[in-house]
């Protein structure tokens, strides 16, 4: 049986004040990164790989009906990122939907669009390139706009994941096999309210097995996904999800076996097969407990030992508790160092 969360359940999850692993990972940078609500360089910024990735995720985990209700397929190509941002800024402050009644000047100035052109020339150019996009924003009624090319890419990736021999069996709900899509889990760690939103949790009641899957799209060959795992610290995500499901299953399926999480990976740019990446225990341990990188180097003809700490979510939770107790005005590492840091020779850190 397929079990999908409702839109309201997803919205409740998003608005919940509980901490999730994505937010917690910002503490690896520091308190300022955690507190900062980043504004993009543009008023509106659309990164295509994020749009396609989310659309694929929504189509599979929320279903085709939800996809059709949430996405508007344009019959035209989108304008440049800068023009889209200008139009979006005008759209957000509009008093009506008539393009020709809008004041474009403020948004154009805010984007420093072609500052050496005459004002009337700038307005004419933005109007030529942006009017059609404006019309589609009005028609879409708040939906995410996809170009025909983007929609084709989403459908191509979705079909590939659901039909390719490497991944199709993961999406089959047979007798006594339940698939939970977009499962929100609320749990507690070290006295802190936590949350996780899982793409897929599969319950095999025949074998009494539980599987965790997360769908990823990358702009590279799928066989290179392991490099992205390390760069983006997916070890923390996998370990966090493991902890969430362990607590969730305690009251529902206490005698079932929880398998290590796996990533289902497809490429948005390369012609290659989708792959499944199952994480191992060491990967999960680093995500939870972190690790110390110890290496040897030579300085002035002497061998030296250097170490570098990689934090897991346990230490990040400890940092989070510290900030809650002592405040978010100063960085924890700055306070504990007394304002003095050592410049080392570990160029890999930079």
Question: How many residues belong to the chain?
Answer: 350
* Average pLDDT, rounded, for the chain: 88
With a cut of 80, say whether residue 190 has pLDDT above it: yes
pLDDT of residue 326: 86
- Cβ-contact 235, 284 below 8 angstroms: yes
Report yes or no on 339 lying in a domain.
yes
Question: Burial code of 155-169, b = ≥16 C-beta within 10 A, e = fewer?
Answer: eebbebbeeeebbee
Structure tokens at 282: 């060491």
pLDDT of residue 292: 77
Instruction: Find residue 194's DSSP bridge partners.
Output: 19, 187
With a cut of 70, say whether residue 311 has pLDDT above it: yes
H or E element in which residue 305 lies? strand 302-310
Report yes or no on 197 lying in a domain.
no
Report yes or no on 177 lying in a domain.
no
CA–CA separation, 239 vs 260, rounded Å?
9
**Strands (E) located in 105-146:** 144-146
Domain that holds residue 303: 291-349
Task: Please compute the mean of the pLDDT values over residues 268-272 and round it to a whole number.
Answer: 91
Report yes or no on 10 lying in a domain.
no
- Cβ-contact 264, 270 below 8 angstroms: no
CA–CA separation, 186 vs 91, rounded Å?
37
pLDDT in tens, 138-164: 988 888 889 889 999 999 999 999 999
- Cβ-contact 180, 3 below 8 angstroms: yes
pLDDT in tens, 16-36: 999 999 999 988 887 777 776
Task: With cut-offs at 50, 70 and 90, classify the pLDDT of residue 45.
Answer: low
pLDDT of residue 350: 46
- Among residues 110, 101, 98, 93, the alpha carbon closest in space to that of 134 is found at 98
pLDDT of residue 200: 96
Task: With cut-offs at 50, 70 and 90, classify the pLDDT of residue 173.
Answer: confident
Task: Please compute the mean of the pLDDT values over residues 325-339 and round it to a whole number.
Answer: 83
CA–CA separation, 109 vs 245, rounded Å?
50
CA–CA separation, 343 vs 228, rounded Å?
28
Task: With cut-offs at 50, 70 and 90, classify the pLDDT of residue 39.
Answer: very low
Task: With cut-offs at 50, 70 and 90, classify the pLDDT of residue 43.
Answer: low
Q: Who has greater pLDDT, 187 or 34?
A: 187
CA–CA separation, 166 vs 181, rounded Å?
20
pLDDT of residue 346: 59
CA–CA separation, 187 vs 183, rounded Å?
13
Percent of the chain with pLDDT over 70: 90
- Cβ-contact 75, 148 below 8 angstroms: yes
Task: With cut-offs at 50, 70 and 90, classify the pLDDT of residue 312.
Answer: very high
- Cβ-contact 177, 210 below 8 angstroms: no
pTM tops 0.85, yes or no: no
Q: Packing angle between helix 48-62 and helix 148-163, nearest 10 degrees? A: 50
pLDDT of residue 74: 87
Antiparallel, parallel or unpaired: β 275-278 and 291-299? unpaired
Task: With cut-offs at 50, 70 and 90, classify the pLDDT of residue 302.
Answer: low
pLDDT of residue 345: 64
With a cut of 80, say whether residue 301 has pLDDT above it: no
With a cut of 80, say whether residue 47 has pLDDT above it: no
Report yes or no on 326 lying in a domain.
yes
Q: How many domains does the chain have?
A: 1
Report yes or no on 200 lying in a domain.
no
Percent of the chain with pLDDT over 90: 59
Task: Please compute the mean of the pLDDT values over residues 3-11 and round it to a whole number.
Answer: 92
Report yes or no on 327 lying in a domain.
yes
- Residues in CB range of 102: below 8 A, 6 or more apart: 90, 94, 134
């Amino acid at each position: 049986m397929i079990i999908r969360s409702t839109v309201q359940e997803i919205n409740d999850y998003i608005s919940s004040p509980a901490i999730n692993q994505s937010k917690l990972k910002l503490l690896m940078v520091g308190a300022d990164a955690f507190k900062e609500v980043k504004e993009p360089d543009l008023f509106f910024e659309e990164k295509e790989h994020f749009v396609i990735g989310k659309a694929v995720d929504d189509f599979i985990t929320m279903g085709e009906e939800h996809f059709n209700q949430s996405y508007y397929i344009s019959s035209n190509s989108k304008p440049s990122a800068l023009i889209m941002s200008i139009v979006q800024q005008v759209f957000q402050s509009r008093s009506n939907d008539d393009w020709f009644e809008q004041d474009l000047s403020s948004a154009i100035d805010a984007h420093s669009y072609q500052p050496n052109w005459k004002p009337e020339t700038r307005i004419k150019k933005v109007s030529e390139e942006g009017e059609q996009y404006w019309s589609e924003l009005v028609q879409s009624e708040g939906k995410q706009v996809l170009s025909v090319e983007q929609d084709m890419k989403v459908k191509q990736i979705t079909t590939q994941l659901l039909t390719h021999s490497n991944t199709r069996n993961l999406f089959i709900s047979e007798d006594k096999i339940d698939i939970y899509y977009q499962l929100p889990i609320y749990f507690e760690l070290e006295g802190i309210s936590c949350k996780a939103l899982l793409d897929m949790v599969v319950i095999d009641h025949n074998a009494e097995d539980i599987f965790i899957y997360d769908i990823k799209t990358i702009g590279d060959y799928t066989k290179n996904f392991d490099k992205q795992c390390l760069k983006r610290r997916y070890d923390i995500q996998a370990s966090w999800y493991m902890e969430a499901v362990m607590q969730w299953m305690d009251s529902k399926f206490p005698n079932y076996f929880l398998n290590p999480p796996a990533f289902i990976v497809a490429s948005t740019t390369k012609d290659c097969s989708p792959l499944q990446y199952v994480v191992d225990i060491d990967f999960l341990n680093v995500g939870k407990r972190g690790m110390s990188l110890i290496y040897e180097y030579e300085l002035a003809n002497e061998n030296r030992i250097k170490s570098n700490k990689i934090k897991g979510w346990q230490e990040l939770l400890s940092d989070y508790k510290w900030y809650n107790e002592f405040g978010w005005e100063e960085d924890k590492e700055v306070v504990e160092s007394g304002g003095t840091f050592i410049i080392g020779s570990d160029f890999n850190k930079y």
